[in-house]
Amino acid sequence: MRTISTSDEILLGNAGAVLWARLRIKDSGGTWQDWESLEGGDGLVISLDWGDSIDARYQDARVEVAYRRYLDNASPLIAGNRLSGYLDIGREVDIAVALAPEGVTPSGGAYKLCFHGEIQSYDLRDDGVAVLDCRDRLGALLADRWIEADTTYGGASNPMAGVIQAILDEWGDAEVLWVPGTAPTFNVNAYNQQPMAVLDALREIALLIGADLRPRWRESTSAFELALTEPNRIGGVPAYQHEHWIAVDRASISRDDIRNVIQINYPGTTNDAGQREWETVWAANNYTTGTAPWRGETPQAGSSIAKYGRRWMEVSNGTSSGIDNASEAQDLADIILADLAEPDLDWGVQLPGLFWPVELNDYYSFAADGARFTSPIAVAVMSYRHRIDVGGGRTTLTCSGKPKAGRRVWLDREARPA
């Protein structure tokens, strides 16, 4: 969760606090323009909607603004009026919010930057509204940049963060990787990186240890930076307790995505012909780690297999994956098992206001509602959406279980016949 001050915490919990929002878009000259006061007008900003998901790669936003006002028109296809040059694809966009007591106008420093992106596309509707679809600027840059040639990375004593930085230096405009806390000690063995989007390649490396890599807010630089983080799969102490909410759109549990026997195939030792032999490790919820769990064995009481049945999953790693020994393969199997062995409560909840500090994998507590559960629950944020319109501001969360790298990201790698 983003850092909040004592005054922030008071305002977040105060139903009477007033929400202020700011939308800025760079004009054709590269100058930030505030669309709430553009050319002396007001009411140009109609709605702001932005958020992120653990199964996405970065934040996205959808913005609605009035592009026509009297004789002025911000359409990029019309020139010669006061709004000309204020709107086009590729322009930088940022969204900031502030909370203040009623009757108080917040200072510029009170605004919290929540989204910094660029316009990916726009739609000029008949009703005078322009719908702007935007992507996180750093995420979009790395998604658009490609590793354009086969390149060897890694090697003996090459830590993961160093390999990621080497790719960024060569293909990612020399963006600097941020590693909050302790850097992973995992070493990436030498492998051949084939051409692909830079961001996808970096996220594949992060997933070798079940880590997450995406742009996150960094307080010390007041900017969004590319962050490599390892989810706290234990959960620990909730970062925030939510006592109230407006609505619950779902509180469901399903065993569809449960996987409790994980088989990892990886290229191991080299044979006499110079070829890598395929080797296998296993992880199962109720068997000795590293041994093949035969179906005839009796599941341990209380285990995932005993409760939900045997649900097998196979993941095969090629020679360019970075996994080439039993220890690394076992670590990956154990991480996937931790993320998939138990079903999670899928908790979709709309909060009473705009909760701007939220980040993915935040671990929150929700007070008992007496209808679905009689004790507080603690769950991790898997996605969030913020929306501001004439009805005010609100945040919708999808939460599930403990912090993780995601469920879909593992299931997409599953080798299973259709």
d(CA 330, CA 289) in angstroms, rounded, equals 8
Inside any domain, residue 287: yes
Question: What CATH number is associated with residue 221?
Answer: 3.55.50
Same domain membership, residue 187 and residue 324: no
What is the span of the domain harbouring residue 86?
6-134
pLDDT surpassing 50 at residue 14: yes
Q: Is residue 412 part of a domain?
A: no
Is the same domain home to 186 and 276? no
Q: CA-based angle 57:59:62, to the nearest 5?
A: 130
Q: State the pLDDT at residue 268.
A: 67
DSSP-derived letter for residue 165 is H
Decide if 407 is inside a domain.
no
Classify residue 109: in a domain, yes or no: yes
Q: 171 φ, ψ to 5°?
A: -125, -10
**CA–CA gap between residue 131 and residue 47 (Å, rounded):** 9
Counting Cα atoms < 13 Å in the Cβ hemisphere of 60 gives: 12
Beta bridge partners of 129: 66
Q: Say if residue 290's pLDDT is above 50.
A: no
Q: Which residues pair with 117 in a beta bridge?
A: 93, 136
Tell me if 63 is assigned to some domain: yes
Tell me if 417 is assigned to some domain.
Answer: no
Confidence category of residue 349, pLDDT binned at 50, 70, 90: very high
In a domain, 186, yes or no: yes
- Look at residues 75, 110, 134 and tell me which one is the last residue of a structural domain: 134
In whole angstroms, give the CA distance from residue 290 to residue 87. 58
In a domain, 31, yes or no: yes
Which of these three, 114, 134, 154, is where a domain ends?
134
Task: Find out whether 235 and 362 touch, Cβ atoms under 8 Å.
Answer: no
Tokens, residue 317: 């790693």
Tell me, yes or no, whether 158 and 292 share the same domain. no
Say if CB 331 and CB 323 are below 8 A apart: no
249 and 374 inside one domain: yes
Q: pLDDT band at 322, cuts 50/70/90?
A: low
Q: Do 247 and 296 reside in the same domain of the chain? A: no
Q: Are residues 24 and 123 in the same domain?
A: yes
Count of domains forming the chain? 4
What gap in Å lies between CA 225 and CA 130, rounded to an integer? 29
Question: Do 208 and 173 share a structural domain?
Answer: yes
pTM: 0.88
User: Which sign does the torsion angle of CA 301, 304, 308, 312 carry?
Assistant: negative
Same domain? 123 vs 153: no
- Per the rule left: phi > 0, alpha: psi between -120 and 50, beta: everything else, 138 is alpha
Residues 170 and 221 grouped into a single domain: yes
Same domain, 360 and 248: yes
pLDDT at 57: 94
Task: Answer yes or no: is pLDDT of 418 > 60.
Answer: no
Amino acid identity at 235: G
CA atoms lying within 13 Å on the CB side of residue 328? 22
Q: Do both 17 and 87 map to the same domain?
A: yes
If asked whether residues 384 and 246 sit together in one domain, one would say yes
| CA–CA gap between residue 340 and residue 344 (Å, rounded) | 9
Which of 84-88, 98-102, 187-191, 272-276 bottoms out in mean pLDDT, i.e. has the lowest?
A: 272-276
What single-letter amino acid sits at 191? Y
Domain end, chosen from 74, 100, 134, is at 134
Average pLDDT of every residue of the chain: 88
